[in-house]
Amino acid sequence: MRNVDLDEILRRVKEDGSTLLALENARFWIEKLRSKKAFPDYKIFTANQNWIGHSLFVKEHGFFDGLPANCAMNWEYQCLATYGRGKHWGLYEMEGEEPIVSLVGYPLDGIATSMGAVKYGKGKIVFSSLDIPKNLIMEGGSRVRRKKFLQIC
């Protein structure tokens, strides 16, 4: 991992209204952001080993244009939510996040945010436990998704 001037990035988010994306190794980056007081306190819920698409719910959002929204994720989202123990997680007991994808499952008695945005000054921090980076670099239909994702950020 190359050196990152996180203080400068956070300044740009806070003062210039930039968007910071924590999409790969998001748990690591969120912890760094929290240590800089740029991210709210939270707890982590990790989903079971089962395919968790039916436990992930997607809200209508620009990134998901043309896909079913305001419902449980179904086959259209299967590349974003694949099998793997501990791979997908959500944050809960935090304040101020805009949930985009929510996660429910046993034993959590509530809802966690697997993809969401947190305001920071004039900008925002977007985080996700979905397999977004891998899908943005794939050939084929992901080109449309990549273009749309970059437009909304």
pLDDT tens-digit series, residues 109-135: 789 999 999 999 999 999 999 887 776
- Assess whether pLDDT exceeds 70 at residue 83: no
**Is residue 58 within 8 Å of 70, Cβ to Cβ?**
yes
pTM: 0.83
Q: What is the mean pLDDT of residues 35-54?
A: 80
- Compute the mean pLDDT over every residue in the chain, rounded to the nearest whole number: 82
pLDDT for res 132: 78
Separation CA 78–CA 116 (nearest Å): 19
Q: Check residue 108 and give its pLDDT.
A: 79
Phi first, then psi: what are they for 134, rounded to 5°? -60, -40
How buried is residue 36: exposed, middle or buried, by Cβ count under 10 Å (0-12/13-18/19+)? exposed
Residue located via tokens 């968790």: 52
> What is the tens place of the pLDDT at every residue in 20-44?
999 888 999 999 999 999 999 999 9
Amino acid at 135: N
Give residue 109's pLDDT: 79
Mean pLDDT in residue range 67-96: 81
Mean pLDDT of 43-61: 76
Residue type at position 128: S
On whether the CB atoms of residues 101 and 58 are closer than 8 A, the answer is: yes
